[in-house]
A and B are shown apart, each in its own frame.
Chain A
Amino acid sequence: MTKQFIGKRIKRNEDPRLLTGQALFVDDVEIPGMLHAAFLRCDYAHARILSIDVSAARERPGVVAVFTAEDMGKDWEPGPPLVSPPPTLQGVTFHSRRQAPLVKDKVRHAGETVAVVIAESRYIAEDAVEDISVEYDPLPVIVDLGKALEPDSPLVHDDLDSNLAAHLYQQKGNYEAAKAQADVVIKKRFYLDRGAAVAMENRGIVAHWDEKSKQLIIWDTTQAPIAIRNGTAVRLGLSENQVRVIAPYIGGGFGPKMMMFYPEEILIPWVSMKLCRPVKWIEDRRENFYATTSEREQLHDVEMALTKEGRIMGLKDDFLHDTGAFDPYGLTLPLNTQCHLMGGYDIENFSSNCTAIFTNKPIVTPVRGAGRQQGIYVIERMVDFAAKELAIDPLEIRKKNFIPPDAFPYNNVIVDQAFAPLILDSGNYLPVYEKAVEMIGYEQFVKEEQPRLRAEGKHVGIAITPFIETTGVGPYEGARVQIETSGKVYVSSGYSTQGQGHFTSFAQIVSEQLGVAVSDVRIVTGDTAEFHWGTGTFASRGAVVVGNAVHAAASAVRQKVLKLASKVLATPEDALELEDGKVRIADIPHTSISLGELAALANPLRGAVEPGTEPGLEATDYFGPQYGATAFGTHAMIIEVDTETMMIEIKRYIAVEDCGRVLNPLIVDGQIHGGVSMGIGNAYYEKLHFDENGQILNASLADYLIVTAYEMPPRIEIGHGETLSPLSKLGTKGVGEAGAIPVPALFAQALENALLDYDLEILETPLSPNRLFELLYKS
């Protein structure tokens, strides 16, 4: 098979529509008779609802309906959990508490929905929201993670004894025994705080219940249309086949658009059914900060036991994890953190208690990296501190501890987010690490440039941070590939897309099998009418799970093509080749038949077919990996810090990435750039500031600072490794989150290095110019 398409920098199929404003996003949906929703949200982070008076709102001209929890009657119910704790984990405590479409008894985080107004326009709906009067009894608020388990802490859920949401313990080997044998034990406490995804498109939903046909169509900015379809059908007493969920073009996902259900997501379809009218709700930016999920807050107490030569003998990490007011996402985030605490190092003894805690803050669910950054931050910081303590070169200590290439698949024993033991399928960490060292010119910088610049009074620092990233988890995805009589190929999958280039990268896989141009392959994602089964777009799994399903289905179609063409051209299959949309006889290229003609022949209108034949040139297949494929890489950076303004300048940035087989290098580069830009934001500019009343002090884009072109390095230089995953035919691994994962750890190392004369010890993230000033001033 000639590799003509996979691995090539092919421009994207989807771009012309996006570039000319012709792509449909949820807020572009216009349906005659469509009504608009606006929500009354509670400003208090914790308050009992004493009374709600919507009478004035109902009177306003243009208002069609106003609903509260009471108006929902027996239809009111908290949402189902999206993810439950792994059944494979022993001794887990988990108190499942989920958000409701409208608050009934008390509000548990600022921004919770108390009432919804349905009106002829969003403008009128917002006016009517102001007409509603609510009597609240404000309650004491708990936002401090460290205090939430104290006996006198306000309780987020009154039916529980405390704010404990979950507890789990994982271990490998015997940490205490290892500690007893160790030459040195390092102890540190790290605090990591929240950041938001800030996709450029806010959330939104349009629901259209048609009473005559009894069909419900929903356009939703969701990363998981099939889950939404299935859950909605159950909730509303419909058959799955009566509900169609479409995730059209989505303006960025990054994790928070994967939920079931956001309150608005279950409410708006219900309203549409009640009123028999299409209803639209679009989130505004301020709502997004409160009502869309965020993550990253954890408090870690860590110990690392080492020999005096720098060999890590064991790691212990007991940490608190903020889950916000509810926990619909199970233990995914803390498990991801635990599974990255050992990084890519060969650590035989590990012990970790995780305690998840309810607070009066918005719900916590994955944001790009999904708990992995926290794990990598902790291990890389500990290794840095160990290197300092033992006076070992920070590069040498890492090389000493990397899992060697012949140790894969490497079993880390503990259970991961996909309920399976953490097995790292493949890896070769040293070459990628050394490549980063070489690309940034480490030796030369440390020996010559840095001393020279320091002598000039400049504060320049260098950092190199390796990391792993678990990707490609199951359970499964599927794809259907069909050659149409036009000769073009149609592919559908239950997956969804938020800009990752699926319409092109998956097409490349099909082109490779069927010999058609990439632009002749039409990929459809995000529409439950086009494919029935699937889970969703999360955890960097598209290239692995969907990619391999597409590959399997396309290969099956290839076999059908060859079988039929062999009969039609009266030539053995192995003498045929597929190229340029035709099947040709290899030695006699003029003799060919187009795929379109073959497709027509495969669906005869008359005559008999052989038993066991399926009509058309079509195949559906699924891929479910045994466990996830682990990607890895190393980032390196040189920064300069202005010790008066605390502003930083990234002079150079290197990202060496190994994500197995690369489908489209242009798309992979783009994912890395985007991930790094989020990582830089997470490290130095972004933080959700909550005050003691659970209010977000920076709930606007003017105050929550996502990275602009100015904060980026002049160029991100990318290097590649390609260690194929043995878990699939394509050998792909995910790369969607990788760019963001090592960056906070990288910044910590770089800043300490740049500010060597201040003898800084960085134990927290995110930082910021303000925070760095505080840390330097204190020391």
Chain B
Amino acid sequence: MINLFHLSVTVNGTLYEQEVEPRLLLSDFLRHDLGLSGTHVGCEHGVCGACTILFDNEPARSCLMFAVQAHGHKVITVEGLGTIDRLHPLQEAFWEAHGLQCGFCTPGFLTTLVPFLEKNPDPSEEEIREAISGNLCRCTGYQHIMDAVKLAAEKMRD
């Protein structure tokens, strides 16, 4: 008999209370229990970055966390960054610069980059490359992603 844990977590501004198994991964909780499937799972070993979410405003790998570790904390997923009718400037920039192809890795890049740009409003090429070095993309070769970040920084400064 598994003891369920009474989880209480705020995701994209909404408080969720649910009984979960302690071993339930945060990525699975977000995707399947909450239906927020924008966070993607690429490896489940913390390397690819596709599962990156904001945990108390800092980027974190949701595949390497248990949902219960988020108890009492604040999580933001890609769905919390913008909507189709109101894109975040970073999302707009990715769109204009063709910073995505299949789109699978994209949510992880977006959640990684939002706090980066908030802290670094005028990043150098070096700094951008370092910021995205922990996210894998197999489609774009990263060049248009770099362009998107530069464009986003411009948009966010205005």
Binding site for B on A (CB under 8 A): 11-12, 14-25, 27-28, 30, 123, 197-202, 249-252, 254, 284-285, 498-501, 666-667, 669-670, 672-678, 700-702, 706-710, 712, 714-716, 739
| Partner-contacting stretch, out of B3-11, B65-73, B114-122, B142-150 | B142-150
Interchain CB contact under 8 A, B100 and A20: no
Interchain CB contact under 8 A, B91 and A20: yes
Interchain CB contact under 8 A, A700 and B102: no
- Most chain A beta-carbon neighbours within 10 Å: one of B48, B84, B137: B137
Interchain CB contact under 8 A, B104 and A15: no
Contacts A27-B31, A673-B143; A498 near B48 (Cβ below 8 A): no
Interchain CB contact under 8 A, B40 and A251: yes
Chain A contacts of B23 at CB under 8 A? 123
Interchain CB contact under 8 A, A17 and B84: yes
Pull 24 A–B residue pairs with CB atoms less than 8 Å apart, ordered by A: A12-B98, A16-B91, A18-B103, A19-B94, A20-B82, A20-B87, A21-B107, A25-B40, A199-B138, A200-B42, A202-B42, A498-B102, A666-B98, A674-B138, A674-B140, A674-B141, A700-B45, A702-B47, A707-B141, A709-B129, A709-B132, A710-B129, A712-B142, A714-B125
Chain A contacts of B103 at CB under 8 A? 14-15, 18-19, 23, 249, 251, 499
Chain A residue nearest in CB terms to B129: A709
Interchain CB contact under 8 A, A285 and B45: yes
Interchain CB contact under 8 A, B137 and A200: yes
A200 to B138, CA, bound (A): 7
Chain A contacts of B132 at CB under 8 A? 709
Contacts A285-B43, A500-B101; A673 near B140 (Cβ below 8 A): yes
B interface, size bucket? 35 or more
Chain A contacts of B48 at CB under 8 A? 200, 701
Interchain CB contact under 8 A, A249 and B95: no
A418 to B42, CA, bound (A): 34
Interchain CB contact under 8 A, B140 and A701: no
Interchain CB contact under 8 A, A712 and B100: no
Interchain CB contact under 8 A, A701 and B136: yes
Interchain CB contact under 8 A, B77 and A21: yes
- Cβ distance B32 to chain A, nearest Cβ, rounded Å: 7
Binding site for A on B (CB under 8 A): 21, 23-24, 31-32, 35-45, 47-48, 50, 77-79, 81-84, 87, 91, 94-96, 98, 100-107, 110, 125, 129, 132-146
Chain A residue nearest in CB terms to B102: A499
Interchain CB contact under 8 A, B87 and A19: yes
Contacts A20-B78, A21-B78; A670 near B94 (Cβ below 8 A): no
Chain A contacts of B32 at CB under 8 A? 30
Chain B contacts of A15 at CB under 8 A? 94-95, 100, 103
Chain B contacts of A252 at CB under 8 A? 101-102, 104, 138-139
Contacts A15-B100, A709-B132; A123 near B21 (Cβ below 8 A): yes
Interchain CB contact under 8 A, B84 and A16: yes
Interchain CB contact under 8 A, A201 and B102: yes
Chain B residue nearest in CB terms to A498: B102
From B91, B129, B134, B138, give the contact of A706 (CB < 8 A).
B138
A17 to B102, CA, bound (A): 11
Chain A contacts of B104 at CB under 8 A? 25, 199-201, 251-252, 499
- Most chain A beta-carbon neighbours within 10 Å: one of B39, B106, B107: B106
- Beyond A19-B87, A27-B40, A501-B101, 12 additional pairs, beta carbon < 8 A: A20-B38, A22-B84, A25-B37, A25-B40, A30-B32, A249-B103, A252-B138, A499-B101, A667-B98, A670-B139, A700-B43, A709-B145
Interchain CB contact under 8 A, B102 and A249: yes
- Cβ distance A752 to chain B, nearest Cβ, rounded Å: 25
- Cβ distance B102 to chain A, nearest Cβ, rounded Å: 3
Contacts A19-B103, A715-B143; A11 near B79 (Cβ below 8 A): no
Chain B contacts of A23 at CB under 8 A? 103
Interface of A is mostly: loop
Interchain CB contact under 8 A, A716 and B84: no
Chain A contacts of B87 at CB under 8 A? 16, 19-20
Chain A contacts of B39 at CB under 8 A? 21
- Cβ distance B95 to chain A, nearest Cβ, rounded Å: 5
From B105, B134, B142, give the contact of A200 (CB < 8 A).
B105
From A20, A674, A676, give the contact of B83 (CB < 8 A).
A20
Interchain CB contact under 8 A, B105 and A19: no
Interchain CB contact under 8 A, A19 and B139: no
Chain A contacts of B79 at CB under 8 A? 20-22
- Cβ distance B52 to chain A, nearest Cβ, rounded Å: 12
A667 to B77, CA, bound (A): 28
Chain A contacts of B21 at CB under 8 A? 123
Contacts A499-B101, A666-B98; A21 near B143 (Cβ below 8 A): no
Chain A contacts of B133 at CB under 8 A? 708-710
A678 to B139, CA, bound (A): 9
Contacts A499-B101, A501-B101; A18 near B106 (Cβ below 8 A): yes
Interchain CB contact under 8 A, A19 and B101: no
Interchain CB contact under 8 A, B140 and A254: no
Interchain CB contact under 8 A, A677 and B94: no
- Most chain B beta-carbon neighbours within 10 Å: one of A670, A672, A676: A670
From B35, B44, B141, B146, give the contact of A285 (CB < 8 A).
B44
A27 to B83, CA, bound (A): 21
A202 to B42, CA, bound (A): 7
Chain A contacts of B37 at CB under 8 A? 21, 24-25, 27-28
- Cβ distance A403 to chain B, nearest Cβ, rounded Å: 30
From B38, B94, B139, give the contact of A499 (CB < 8 A).
B139
Interchain CB contact under 8 A, A673 and B144: yes
Chain B contacts of A20 at CB under 8 A? 38, 78-79, 81-84, 87, 91
Contacts A16-B87, A17-B84, A678-B138; A701 near B45 (Cβ below 8 A): yes
- Most chain B beta-carbon neighbours within 10 Å: one of A19, A672, A676, A700: A19
- Cβ distance B22 to chain A, nearest Cβ, rounded Å: 11
Chain B residue nearest in CB terms to A252: B102
A448 to B50, CA, bound (A): 45
- Cβ distance B100 to chain A, nearest Cβ, rounded Å: 6
Chain B contacts of A709 at CB under 8 A? 129, 132-133, 142, 145-146
From A284, A499, A673, A702, give the contact of B141 (CB < 8 A).
A673
Interchain CB contact under 8 A, B38 and A27: no
From A197, A666, A702, give the contact of B45 (CB < 8 A).
A702
